[in-house]
Structure 1
Amino acid sequence: MTDPVFFHARNRLTVADIVELTGAEPVPGLSLDLSVERVAPLDHAGEGDLSFLENPHYLPMLETSKAAVILISPKFVDRAPKNAPLLVAREPYRAFAQIGMALFPDAARPQSFFGAKGISPGAVVHPEARLEIGVTVDPGAVIGPRAEIGAGTIVGANAVIGPDVRIGRDCSISPNAVIQHSLIGNRVIIHAGACLGQDGFGFSMGPRGHLKVPQVGRVVVQDDVEIGACTTIDRGANRDTIIGEGTKIDNQVQIAHNVMVGRHCVLVSKVGISGSTVLEDFVVMGGASATVGHIRIGMGAQIAGAANVKDDVPPGARMGGTPAQPLGDYARELALLKKLVKSSRVRSGQGTDGGSTA
C-alpha cells in the first residue's frame, strides 16, 4: 500500500477523472464525485484507497475489501458483492498503473536524493562537459570531458559519466551507476549500481596464453528503456551493443558484447545473454535464463525461467529446460521422468516418498 513517509500523492482523483484517464466504466450507482488519493491491495485498502482485481487468486479478498474504488475485469463483475464500488476495465492492472502514475509521478523514476535542482557543489563536472539547462547533478557525481546530458535528466550521487558519453532528456541515472562509451536516448531509467560500456569479455585464447582483444564498439540505448540495479551491459567489440526502444531489463542481468536486443523486450532478473546474440522485438526471457553466443531469438518468443538456449529460436516459440526445447515437449519430458522415477521406486520396494514399503 502507499507509504505515507516516502510517497505523497500529488492530488486526488475522482471517479470521473479515472474514467477519463483509463476508459473504465463505473457500475450503476457509483458516484462520479467519489475520490481516491492512495493505492492499496484489496485486503489492506480502506477509505480513499484504490485497488484492483485481475487475478482470480485474489477473488476471496473481494468479499471483504473496504477499498473506496476497485478496478475489476469484466469476467469477475458477477462475483463481486452487491453495491461494490466497481470500475470495470478491460485491463485492470494497466488502468491501475495509469492511475498510480497520475497520483505518484515521482515514484515512476528515481529522483534526486537531495531534492535540489541544478548542479550540486559536491559534484565534479569537467569544464568541457555540456549540460542543458534543467539537469540535476547530485553530490559525488563525476561527469567527464565532452559528455553531453539533456534537460530534465537527473544524475544521482556518486554516479560516473565517462568522457564523450551522450545522455538524452528526462533520464534518471541512479546513485553509483557507471556509464562509459555509451549513447543513451530520452526517458531512460538506469538504476543504482548498473554499469554500461565496460570492456566486453573478449580474448584470443590459446596455449601461449589469452590475448586480450580490444573492445572498440559502443553501447547504444534507445528511448524509454529501463535498466535494473547492478545490471551490466558490455560495449561492443567491433560493432555496437544495442538495447532497443522500450525494453525493460530487471536487476542483475548480464548482456555481453555485440548483443542486439530488440524493441519492447523483457529480461527478468539474472538473465545472461552471451556475445553477438540477437533478440528480436518483444522477446521475453524469464529469470535466470541464458543463451549461448551467436544465436537469434525470434520476435515474440518466450524463454522460461532457468532455461538455457543453445540454438536459434523461431518467432513466437515458447521454450523451456536445459537445453531449451519447445515448452510442450519439456513438460511432457518432465511428466515422463516423474513416472519413470515412481515406477522405479515401486519395483525396488520403496514408497512414492522414497521410504520402504516393507
Structure 2
Amino acid sequence: MEPNCFFPPHDGVSLRALADHLGAELADEATADRIVRSVSPVYRAVDGDVCYILSRKNKDELETCHASAIICDPTLKSLIPPHIPVILSSSPHAAFAIAGALLHPDAMRPAQLTSEAQAISPSAFVDPTARLEPNVVVEPMAVIGANAEIGEGTRICAGAVIGADVKIGRDCTISAGASVLCALVGNGVIIHNGARIGQDGFGYAPGPRGMLKIVQIGRVIIQDNVEIGANTTIDRGTMDDTVIGEGTKIDNQVQIGHNVRIGRHSAIVSQVGIAGSAKIGNGVQIGGQAGVTGHITIGDGVQLAAGSGIITDIPPGGRYGGVPARPIKDFLRELAEIMAKSGNRKKKDGVRQDD
C-alpha cells in the first residue's frame, strides 16, 4: 500500500510505552524498545505497524504478517510467529482502538479543512448576539445564528449551520455542511458531514381538505460524547424532546423520528429507521437497515440483527432478529428450515431435469 498522505505515521512509540498505555502485558521484555508508528490489518502489516487478532480464524493471515507487534488474548499467543512481539490483553479489540487513537489522533474526528490563522474565518457569519467561548474555530461559510452559545475548543466546520438559541458544549466538532437547529448539545460531541439535527418531525393529521401539519415545538437533546454519522437525521420533538443518551454512537444515514429517546452507550448502524416516540434503553445494539416502529420500548442491552423489523416491546437483555423480530434462536432455526426446504426442492427439480 502506498504511503497515506491523509493520515501519516506517528513519530514512534515504544512497545513498552504502548503496553503501559493500554494497560496490557508485553510478552517479551526484550522487545520493549521496538517502535510502532501506525496500525494495519494482519495480512499486510509491516515493520512499524501494530495489529490485532480476535480468533483462530486469523491464523492464515499471520503467514504474511511482519508487524512490529500483535495485540491478542493470552489464549491466542501460541498462534503468533516467534519473530513478532506480542502484547497480551483480555480485550484486544478495545486495546487496538486505544492504540489507534494514540498513533493517529488526527483521525479521531473530522479534520479542519482550511489553514486559516484566524479562529473565526472572515467568510463565516456569526450573529452579533451569539456567545463563543475562547478557542472556538469557525471555518469559512459557516453560519451561527442569534443567541447561539458555543463552548471552548469546539470547531464549526465549513458550511455548517448553527441555528438561533442552539447551545453546543466544549470540545465538539460540527462537520462540514451539517445543520443543528433547536438543539442542546453536550461536550465532546462529533456530528459528521451533512447530518441534520433538529428539523421538523413528521407529524400530520387528516383533515377535510388533506393533511394538516402538526406543530413541532420540541427540542433535540444530545448528551456528552455522542457521535452522529454523515447524513443522519434526528428530528426535534413534537412537544416533548428527542433525546440521545451519553456515549451513544450513531452511524451514517440513520433516521430518528420525533420524541425518540435513546439511552446511554447504545450503537445504531447505518440505515436504521426509528419511528416517533420509540424508547430505546442503555447499551442497545441495532444492526443495519433495521426498522423500529413508533411508541414501543426496547429494553437495556438488547441486540437486534440487521434487517430486523421491531413492532412490539422487547424486554431487556435479549437477542432478536427477523421480521417481525423474535428471539434470535427462533429466527435462525426458522431460517435454517426454510433453506433446507428450498435445497430439497432444488434437488427434486434437478432430478426431474436429468430424467
Structure 2 length-normalised TM = 0.95
Give the Cα separation in 2 of the matches to 1:122 and 1:342: 64
Following TM superposition, by how much is the alpha carbon of 1:70 offset from its aligned partner in structure 2, in angstroms? Answer: 1.4
CA contact (8 A) 2:44 2:64 kept: no
Q: Give the Cα separation in 2 of the matches to 1:251 and 1:9.
A: 27
Q: For residue 104 of structure 1, what is the amino acid of its counterpart?
A: H
Alignment of 1:24-35 (within 5 A): 24-28=24-28, 30-35=30-35
Rounded Cα–Cα distance in structure 1 between residues aligned with 2:346 and 2:10 = 63
Q: Deviations over 1:74-116 (max 9, x none)?
A: 1211122234311111112211111211122111011210134
Matched length: 354
Residue pair 2:201, 2:235 contacting (<8 A) in 1 also: yes
Give, in whole Å, the separation in 1 of the partners of 2:210 and 2:261.
30
Q: Find the counterpart in structure 1 of residue 315 from structure 2.
A: 314
Q: Report matched runs for 1:18-167 at 5 Å.
A: 18-28=18-28, 30-116=30-116, 118-167=119-168
Aligned partners of 1:314 and 1:48: how far apart in 2? 47
Aligned residues of 1:297 and 1:312 also touching (Cα < 8 A): yes
Aligned residue identity for 2:286: M
8 Å CA contact retained: 1:190, 1:227: yes
Q: Which amino acid aligns with 2:85?
A: P
2:235 and 2:28 mapped to 1: Cα distance?
Answer: 55
Tell me the CA shift for residue 344 of structure 1.
4.5
* Structure 1 pair 152–342 and aligned structure 2 pair: CA distance change class (3 A): same
Output the CA distance in 2 between the equivalents of 1:131 and 1:34: 45
Q: Please tell me the residue identity of whatever aligns with 1:134.
A: N
Would you say the 8 A contact 1:269–1:288 is kept in 2? Answer: yes
Is 1:278 the counterpart of 2:279? The answer is yes
Q: Which residue of 2 aligns with 1:242?
A: 243
Alignment identity in percent?
A: 46
Alignment RMSD: 1.7
Look up the match of 1:304: 305
Q: Which runs of 5+ in 2 are unaligned?
A: none
Give per-residue Cα distances to partners, 1:34-84, cap 9 Å, x unaligned. Answer: 111121122222121112112433221223311111112212111222343
Aligned-pair distance for 1:351? 2.4
Q: Residues 201-216 of structure 1 correspond to what in structure 2 (within 5 A)?
A: 201-216=202-217
Whichever residue aligns with residue 258 of structure 1, its letter is: N
Letter of the structure 2 residue corresponding to residue 268 of structure 1: V
Deviates most, 158-167 or 25-34:
25-34
- Amino acid paired to 1:235: R
Q: Counterpart in 2 of 1:194? A: 195
**Helix, strand or coil at the partner of 1:336:** helix
